[in-house]
Amino acid sequence: MKVKITLDRVAVRKKLEEKAEDALELMIDQVLKDCNDYAPKDTGDLIKSSYNFSEVTDSRMVMRWSTPYARRLYYGISPSGKPYKYSHDHNPNATKMWAHKASKQKGEQWRRRFQTLMKGGK
């Protein structure tokens, strides 16, 4: 007796992409919170912008801090071109490249959470 199995690769890929997008939607707020734990805070506009402009699209999490000064602060460059000195008055953890710092600290935890969600867990 022979058994023939036909796999619709396009349908499988589509299903996995949908599942990944759903998992990322469930994770984005926590990832942004973890990143913003290291973001500089003065008026709070920089951090607010991340919640307004970040999104999950095409099975990717795209995080954006969208203020006129976000890029400068992210790379730690003052308007004069010298290294930026972060105030720790409102956020004692403030540092440059805050998303990279959060990824280094929490990346493994994010990966495990994503795997759990992809398997149908909570």
Cα–Cα distance list, 61 to 3, 29, 81 (Å) = 41, 11, 31
CA 25 from chain centre, in angstroms, equals: 11
**Average pLDDT rounded to a whole number, residues 103-117:** 97
pLDDT single digits (tens) 73-109: 999 999 999 999 999 999 999 999 999 999 999 999 9
Q: State the DSSP H helix or E strand holding residue 111, giving kind and residue range, or none if neither.
A: helix 98-118
pLDDT of 59 higher than 90 = no
pLDDT for position 52: 97
pLDDT for position 96: 97
pLDDT for position 41: 96
Neighbours of 97 (CB within 10 A): 14
Q: What is the pTM of this model?
A: 0.88
pLDDT single digits (tens) 15-52: 999 999 999 999 999 999 999 999 999 999 999 999 99
pLDDT for position 121: 83
CA distance 57 to 60: 5
pLDDT for position 99: 98
